[in-house]
Amino acid sequence: LAVPLAFLFICRGTMMDLAQFEAWILDETTNNAVAAGMIAMAIFTVLGTIFVAAPYGRYSDSRWGPLINAKVCWVFMESPNLIWTALFLAFYSREESVQSVPNMILLGMFAFHYTNRTLIFPFRLRGVKPMPISMPLLAVSYCFFNGYLQASSLTRFTARDPLYLGDPRFLAGVFLFFCGWYINVDSDARLRNLRKPGETGYKIPRGGMFEYVSGANFFGEILEWTGFAIASWSMAGVAFALYTAANIGPRALKHHQYYLDKFKEEYPKERKALIPFLL
CA distance 123 to 120: 6
Below-70 pLDDT ranges, the chain: 1-16
**Confidence (pLDDT) at 244:** 97
H or E stretch at 68: strand 67-68
**Confidence (pLDDT) at 53:** 82
- Cα-flanking dihedrals φ and ψ of residue 67, to 5°? -85, 135
pLDDT (tens digit per residue) in 166-220: 999 999 999 999 999 999 999 999 998 887 777 777 889 999 999 999 999 999 9
CB 272 within 8 A of CB 212: yes
**Confidence (pLDDT) at 69:** 94
CB 56 within 8 A of CB 131: yes
Q: Please state, in angstroms and as integers, the Cα–Cα distance from residue 29 to each residue in 11, 23, 80, 141, following that order.
A: 12, 11, 21, 20
Bridge partners of 131, per DSSP, are 68
DSSP letter assigned to residue 156: I
**Confidence (pLDDT) at 86:** 96
CB 153 within 8 A of CB 121: no
DSSP letter assigned to residue 154: I
For the chain, give the mean pLDDT: 91
CA distance 113 to 182: 11
Of the candidates 172, 174, 161, 177, the one whose C-alpha atom is nearest the C-alpha of residue 224 is: 177
**Confidence (pLDDT) at 16:** 61
**Confidence (pLDDT) at 241:** 98
